[in-house]
Amino acid sequence: MRQLTEAPDHIAHHEHPRKGFFTDTSICIGCKACEVACKEWNRNPHDSAFELLESSYDNTGSLGADTWRHVAFVEQSGQQIEQARESGRALVSLGMPGIGPPASRPSSAAPGIVPSDTASSDTTPPDTPEFRWLMSSDVCKHCTNAGCLDVCPTGALFRTEFGTVVVQDDVCNGCGTCVAGCPFGVIERRSDGIVAPKTERDFTPGEQAATRNVGVAQKCTLCYDRMVDDQTPACAQACPTTSIKYGDREEMVATARQRVAELQTQGMSEARLYGANDFDGVGGTGSVFLLLDEPEVYGLPPDPRVPTADLPQMFKRAGIAAAGMLAATAVAFVAGGRR
Amino acid sequence: MTVTEFDSYRPPEPPRKRRRGGKGRRRGAGGADGSREMPMVPEPEFTSYYGRPVVKAPPWENPIAVYFVLGGVAGGSSLLALGAQLADLPELRRNSRISAVAAAGVGAIALVTDLGRPERFLNMLRTIKLTSPMSLGSWILAAFSTGAGVAAVSEVDRMTDCRAPLGPLRKVLRAAEHPAGVVAAVFAAPLAAYTAVLLSDTAVPTWNAAREDLPFVFVSSAALASGGLGIITTSVSQARPARALAVLGAAGDLVATQVMERRMDPVAAEPLHEGGPGQTLRWSRRLVAVGGLGALLGGGNRIVAAASGAALLAGSALTRFGVLHAGLNSAADPRYTIEPQKRRLAARRRAGITHDSITTAG
Ligand code: SF4
Ligand code: SF4
């Protein structure tokens, strides 16, 4: 698989380490500063006619062409908290990579604290035992094996020198293959742009600025334009709780591991990492998350797999099918050939 | 768990949806009566973020399905044309060559209209990418159209009694037409098959789950459609190979569809049976069966043959529309993404494979 699909270590540039996010949802307060900062910096149009989605405090809905950061709000009852703990404990007892139960790991947390395996311990305020809010700022994963990038026919999507995945607006012809290729439902073709942001540099007051890049696939660039100037991406810069952290990917993964161990030592067995495993279906993600429940609760796929991983097999099957078509034609001419 | 008096105004909490794979709702894997071991990993259950989709459906609409149909017709027709060229059936050769280029031309237009920026369609040929079926397909289509175009131009020139002022070019054209026909035929089967890979090489649950067998459905559909077109356009005496191809294609299509649906993940296969796409696919099967039978038994009669051919073409079209929309529906419902994924993850964990999960404890 890894021969066929593109990955950050295939690229020729090595002067930059791979960059990434670590989104620690345990300290997200759902203020949406990241969403706003992202829209402003990238001058993205707003996504709908200000409709209320009537589900929790989330009226953005999902990531898309115009939304590159999306804050999910999940309201959960005591029973659901218990289920989350249970599934977290199941992960630990499986000995998933990372490795073994938290007590055996060198962590920043005070040594000697044995994780209580019962739900007796309290969670941090403002959560109560009966009720909690999960808030998580979702973003493009900048996958190691990126489905979107692999299937793009024009080469509009490319791997930057920072190991991120970016669309070249002037090359993309809007074929939409990448939309289907992304296992996380991140990238989308920009169609509407009902109202354009009034932030164009040459904006004349009173006039509506035109929406950029209509008909072209759009997604998070990890603020490529800021990175080249050594700036932090807008969302991470704006996040007041440092829930969104930005830096070298290795460092981010290490921070994430430390943090999850810390939480588990505090008895939050529901804490787990998403995307920190380089052996998963997308080869690990550039944006690592710390979640407090199963990924699908946040709208993330539980077992994503880059479709191109199976492409050699698909080509093989298509080859056999094509050969079958040739054979059928030959048979047709033998059977019905002569007048 | 009323916390404040205002909580009584809250809408009732939606239950965590629990749905098991497949139609039959089996109880959890025992344990209560101690007769069976409790599984280490619980059976997957289905939760989603307010029912919102996890993956996005591509912005592909009906023009793409039209392209799939016509690409298949073009491929099959140019194979018929090559066969007729070798077996010396001039009428079938002429008609098939013209059908091939017309189908490829209209199909390419349909493909371009579905782009977000149609004026940039040439960017498709900006690079060759082995990991992108869309890129390979564009090159296949380009090569095919070149071959089929030259062969068809020569046929048209013959039909118009060489009236076009081609001068010495005519000799070149005549010399080139047969090699061009071969070139078209070389790219014909890939043209019919790659569209299946294009669909399967995505995160859209139904298309991806059909990846093993969808190419067989698509090439069969292409064969029956081009055979059907052949028996419409060509007189009975020369159309026998087209008839045979139509019958073979129809049989292959019916078998391949069955096999595909049986081997797919049962949950991911559901959109193929439900709603509009389910209806479309049922009609496509009926039309293919009727058209195939008609071509087999009544192909000697021009009227019956033409009617059968029309049924086959319609059936082939409905197959592509059905598969396209079933996939789009499967992307819109998070269940089709989450449930099969949870199931395969749980199965791997049961088998002791725990190193490849995206969710880790640390
Ligand atoms: S999350 Fe989707 S859009 Fe982002 S890099 Fe991965 S495949 Fe591409
Ligand atoms: S829509 Fe643009 S970026 Fe996406 S696959 Fe097509 S050409 Fe590439």
Average pLDDT rounded to a whole number, residues B295-323: 92
Whether B359 sits inside 8 A of A294 (CB atoms) is yes
Does residue A294 belong to the interface with chain B, where contact is any CB pair within 8 Å? yes
Single-letter code of the amino acid located at A293: D
Which residues 6+ apart lie within 8 Å of A273 measured at CB? A98, A256, A257, A260, A288, A289, A290, A291, B359, B360, B361, B362
Residue A126: asked if its preceding bond is cis (omega within 30°), the reply is yes
A153: nearest CB among B46, B49, B134: B134
- Kindly state if the Cβ of A154 falls inside 6 Å of ligand 2: yes
The rounded Å distance from CA A147 to ligand 1 centre is 6
Which residues 6+ apart lie within 8 Å of A146 measured at CB? A6, A157, A159, A165, A182, A282, A306
Q: pLDDT at position A208, please? A: 60
Would B299 be classed as within a structural domain? yes
Average pLDDT rounded to a whole number, residues B125-153: 93
Would B73 be classed as within a structural domain? yes
Kindly report the CATH number assigned to the domain that includes residue B176.
Answer: 1.20.1630.10
pLDDT band at residue B131, thresholds of 50, 70 and 90? very high
B256-273 residue pLDDT tens: 999 999 999 999 999 999
Would B23 be classed as within a structural domain? no
For the whole model, what pTM was predicted?
A: 0.86
**Lowest mean pLDDT, pick from A201-205, B26-30, B85-89, B317-321:** B26-30
Does residue A108 belong to the interface with chain B, where contact is any CB pair within 8 Å? no
B342: nearest CB among A101, A257, A302: A302
User: Over 70: is that where the pLDDT of A257 sits?
Assistant: yes
Would B260 be classed as within a structural domain? yes
| Structural domain count, chain B | 1
CB A308 within 8 A of CB A147: yes
Set of chain B residues whose Cβ sits within 8 Å of the Cβ of A296:
46-49, 54, 334, 338, 342
User: Over 90: is that where the pLDDT of A127 sits?
Assistant: no
**Percentage of chain A modeled with pLDDT above 90:** 60
Phi first, then psi, for residue A153 (nearest 5°) are -80, -20
A231-241 residue pLDDT tens: 999 999 999 99
Q: Which structural domain, as residue segments, surrounds residue B175?
A: 62-334
Whether B204 sits inside 8 A of A332 (CB atoms) is no
String of DSSP letters for B122-166: GGGGS---TT-HHHHHHHHHHHHHHHHHHHHHHHHHHHTTT-S--
Whether B215 sits inside 8 A of A333 (CB atoms) is no
Q: For residue A188, give the 3-state DSSP assignment.
A: strand
Q: pLDDT at position A15, please? A: 75
User: Over 80: is that where the pLDDT of A18 sits?
Assistant: yes
Would B91 be classed as within a structural domain? yes
User: Over 60: is that where the pLDDT of B23 sits?
Assistant: no
Q: pLDDT at position B352, please? A: 86
Q: How far is A330 from chain B (nearest CA, A)?
A: 7
Q: Which of left, alpha, beta for A223 (phi over 0: left; psi -120 to 50: alpha)?
A: left
Q: Which residues, listed in sequence order, are joined to residue A136 by a DSSP beta bridge? A: A72
User: Complex ipTM, two decimals?
Assistant: 0.86
CB B49 within 8 A of CB B333: no
DSSP A165: E
Whether A264 sits inside 8 A of B361 (CB atoms) is yes
Which residues 6+ apart lie within 8 Å of B336 measured at CB? B205, B206, B267, B268, B270, B271, B330
CB B149 within 8 A of CB B101: yes
Set of chain A residues whose Cβ sits within 8 Å of the Cβ of B212:
313, 317
**Lowest mean pLDDT, pick from A199-213, A261-275, B234-248, B265-279:** A199-213
**Of B121, B330, B294, nearest in space to A185 by CA:** B330
Q: pLDDT at position A159, please? A: 92
A60-83 residue pLDDT tens: 889 999 899 999 999 888 888 888
Would B137 be classed as within a structural domain? yes
For residue A140, CA distances in Å to A23, A184, A198, A276, B209 come to 12, 8, 25, 14, 24
Q: pLDDT at position B218, please? A: 96
Q: pLDDT at position A298, please? A: 94
Set of chain A residues whose Cβ sits within 8 Å of the Cβ of B47:
294, 296-297
Q: pLDDT at position B30, please? A: 38
pLDDT averaged over chain B? 87
User: Over 90: is that where the pLDDT of B164 sits?
Assistant: no
B202-249 residue pLDDT tens: 999 999 999 999 999 999 999 999 999 999 999 888 888 999 999 999
Q: For residue A330, give the 3-state DSSP assignment.
A: helix
d(CA A49, CA A55): 17
Higher pLDDT: A14 or A257? It is A257
Would B54 be classed as within a structural domain? no
What's the token pair of residue B309?
């051919």
pLDDT band at residue A9, thresholds of 50, 70 and 90? low
Exposure of A39 by Cβ count < 10 A (0-12 exposed, 13-18 middle, 19+ buried)?
buried
User: Which ligand 1 atom sits closest to the C-alpha of A147?
Assistant: 7
pLDDT band at residue A50, thresholds of 50, 70 and 90? confident
The rounded Å distance from CA A24 to ligand 2 centre is 31
pLDDT averaged over chain A? 83
d(CA A181, CA A165): 13
Q: pLDDT at position B335, please? A: 93
Would B29 be classed as within a structural domain? no
d(CA A273, CA A288): 7
